[in-house]
């Protein structure tokens, strides 16, 4: 039931809006808003034409592409040029102007890895109904940045992942494998083989061989190496040439069949690649 105070506030807003609108005839009000929306839409349409593949456009090409008269096109271009959103070069062609770049920087500053990854993680979790996580390595520690928990009756609520004393999860192994050579070797010197289960890798030599294979195939599996009854896979998310993040799925071992294992590995790699692509799109 709405609270009386909130209801009065809503009624006051409605009355104020109705009073303002009563000063304009309905036809004039709707026409004005329609014209404003149309102008804004056309200006945005023009700005969205500028891409890496087509960084410059002539007024004639813009008019033809958008199906507008040239006189109308020039009017929009002049408005955008006034605000330095576009500039004209010496060959009667237009490109994005200097006011675009501060806007892009603001957008980048407010777009975190968690925001970028969230819809991809949700899609991956919905597809398989398993726990999905976005993990970050900071030096020798691994932190979960985001997690999508499954609604399965029997499920994992969290996964522990760490490099020290010994990496045994998919996330730990993939983040070590794709660390920079200096970081990787420094961490290797700190590792102490620790036997968590009968399937845990037991020596540094064996771990090095596994890391080489992970770099080759682009993902890491843990098959009851850290916890008995738990299977998982992780794939790296790249920022240019470095890797700080990975996408991981963990599930009870009994739900994994050969066909499902293949499908999950493929999907995790694709999800990590999609997040990598979205990150690169805002890397100005």
Calculate the average pLDDT of the chain: 84
CATH class held by domain 4-104: mainly alpha
Are 130 and 152 contacting, i.e. CB atoms less than 8 angstroms apart? yes
pLDDT in tens, 48-67: 999 878 899 999 999 999 99
Domain 111-281 has CATH 3.30.450.40: yes
- pLDDT attached to residue 110: 55
pLDDT at 76 over 70: yes
Record the pTM: 0.63
CB atoms within 10 A of CB 27: 8
- pLDDT attached to residue 108: 60
Q: Do domains 4-104 and 111-281 have the same CATH topology?
A: no
Q: Would you kindly state where each structural domain of the chain is located, as residue ranges?
A: 4-104, 111-281
- Number of H-type helices and E-type strands within the chain: 10, 8
pLDDT in tens, 223-261: 999 999 999 999 999 988 899 999 999 999 999 999 999
pLDDT in tens, 19-36: 333 333 334 344 443 444
pLDDT tier at 109, thresholds 50, 70, 90: low
Are 95 and 121 contacting, i.e. CB atoms less than 8 angstroms apart? no
């Amino acid at each position: 039931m709405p609270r009386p105070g909130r209801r009065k506030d809503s009624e006051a807003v409605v009355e104020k809006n109705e009073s303002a609108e009563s000063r304009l005839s309905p036809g004039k009000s709707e026409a004005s808003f329609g014209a404003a929306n149309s102008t804004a839409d056309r200006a945005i349409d023009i700005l969205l034409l500028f891409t890496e593949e087509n960084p410059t456009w002539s007024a004639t090409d813009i008019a033809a592409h958008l199906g507008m008269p040239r006189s109308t096109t020039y009017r929009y271009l002049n408005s955008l040029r006034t605000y330095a959103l576009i500039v004209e070069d010496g060959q009667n062609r237009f490109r994005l102007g200097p006011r675009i770049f501060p806007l892009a920087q603001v957008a980048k500053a407010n777009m975190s890895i968690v925001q970028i990854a969230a819809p991809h993680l949700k899609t991956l979790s919905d597809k398989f109904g398993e726990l999905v996580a976005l993990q970050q390595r900071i030096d020798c520690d691994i932190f979960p940045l985001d997690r999508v928990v499954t609604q399965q009756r029997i499920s994992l609520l969290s996964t522990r992942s760490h490099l020290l004393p010994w990496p045994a999860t998919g996330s730990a192994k993939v983040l070590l494998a794709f660390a920079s050579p200096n970081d990787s070797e420094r961490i290797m010197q700190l590792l102490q083989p620790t036997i968590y289960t009968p399937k845990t890798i037991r020596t540094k030599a064996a771990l090095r061989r596994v890391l080489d294979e992970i770099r080759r195939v682009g993902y890491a599996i843990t098959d009851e190496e850290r916890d008995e009854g738990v299977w998982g896979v992780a794939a790296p998310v790249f920022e240019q040439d470095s890797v700080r993040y990975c996408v991981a799925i963990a599930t009870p071992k009994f739900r994994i069949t050969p066909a499902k294992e293949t499908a999950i590995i493929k999907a995790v790699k694709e999800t990590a690649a999609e997040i990598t692509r979205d990150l690169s799109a805002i890397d100005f």
